[in-house]
Structure 1
Amino acid sequence: MSAGPTRLLVVCLGNICRSPLAEGALRARIEASPLAGRVMVDSAGTGGWHAGEPPDRRAIACARGHGVDIAGLRARQLRARDFEDFHWLLCADADNLRDVRALAPPGARERTALLLDWAGTVPHGEVPDPYYGDGSHFEGVWQLVDTAARAVVDRLSARPASGIIRP
């Protein structure tokens, strides 16, 4: 893994609801912090059904309601290179974590975690999939991922300047 900014990848199932909301929240919180330019965030899905598509319109509307624009994001599927390119792969739920770990090459499994758990906001917590719900479900997801984004900023701000947070 090359030197440079800390790189976080948020992973959900299709990369159109939870992970783009989390990516948007993380980017916004990081850019408004002393970590700006030092942490890079991306998102992916374990499945490729929506590859190339924008986030779900309800996710876009929810993020927009919080002053965050995710309309330009495009879904993509998790790829083998992500295990080399990212320091941490942060998963929305236990199923995604299991799937990501099943694909992880030797030595990368310990750099996978549940987003809410890794952030320190909800031990073993999962971000529920709002896809079959309404706007209130997306708002609930936003509250979880934005709280996690604030905690991630605190966690990364507390680390030694020269180090990546280790498992």
Structure 2
Amino acid sequence: METHSPVRILTVCTGNICRSPVAERLLQAGLDQVHPGAFVVRSAGTRAMVGDPIQPPSADIIETYGGTPHGFAARQLTSKILRESDLVLTMASKHRGEVLQLDASLLKRTFTIREFARMLSQLELRESLPDNSVSSAGGVEGWRSLPTRAASVRHLALAAEPGDNDVVDPYRRGQDVYDQMEDQLAPAILAVLRFARLTWPA
């Protein structure tokens, strides 16, 4: 797999200082453990606080889960950034809509992260072999086809409530809202990492 360019994942929120940096740094840290160099995870904001660092409560969450918040600067989402992405994971449904306004061709590669996590759980069931390995789903090329495969099970992974697709925005709010953000976001990140571990070739 070393001959392939890395899978490029983009996480998106509003200011790019609270939610999407947590997803970026924790996905990168976890995917580096699966296969170093196979993934590049970055983030951007639809109305970014350009140049700002990660908000301290979000930085604490990143460090709690073994990632690093250092060396980060928020950036504005652009069409160029989107064109370079194999998979776009947004923090809320409204961000998905804003991504598609910039580039409608990303329709089949853009999901809310909580929705995507549910889709991966369905793919595990669909693609699993008796020994609990997953067929034709791993490696860089498997991940390039993953958005299409995930979309094929969207109807099996619908949210009970529309809000179940979203991660709450904690910006300028109390620690309790950051805790709520963590409770919503961490399981989705862990689901993505679990799928990567299950499907990556040994």
5+ residue gaps, structure 2, are 122-156, 160-164
The 2-side partners of 1:25 and 1:142 are apart by 12
4+ residue runs of structure 1 moved beyond 6 angstroms? none
Matched with 2:113 is: 115
5+ residue gaps, structure 1, are 162-167
Range that drifts further, 81-90 or 66-75:
66-75
Label 1:159 to 1:83 Cα distance change in 2 as closer, same or farther (>3 A). Answer: farther
TM-score (norm 2): 0.69
- Offset, 1:114: 0.7
The structure number with the bigger radius of gyration is: 2
Identical columns (%)? 28
Q: Which structure exhibits the higher relative contact order, with contacts defined as CA atoms closer than 8 Å and separated by 6 or more residues?
A: 1
The amino acid across from 1:118 in the alignment is: F
The within-5 A match list for 1:41-80 is 41-48=41-48, 50-80=49-79
Bigger helix share: 2
- Offset, 1:65: 3.4
Matched with 2:177 is: 137
The 1-side partners of 2:94 and 2:11 are apart by 14
| RMSD, aligned α-carbons | 2.1
The amino acid across from 1:149 in the alignment is: I
Q: How many residues align?
A: 156
Per-residue CA deviation, residues 47-72 of structure 1 (Å, 9 max, x unaligned), is 13x11110112211332333322132
- In the alignment, is the contact (CA less than 8 A) between 1:22 and 1:142 conserved in 2? no
The 2-side partners of 1:64 and 1:53 are apart by 18
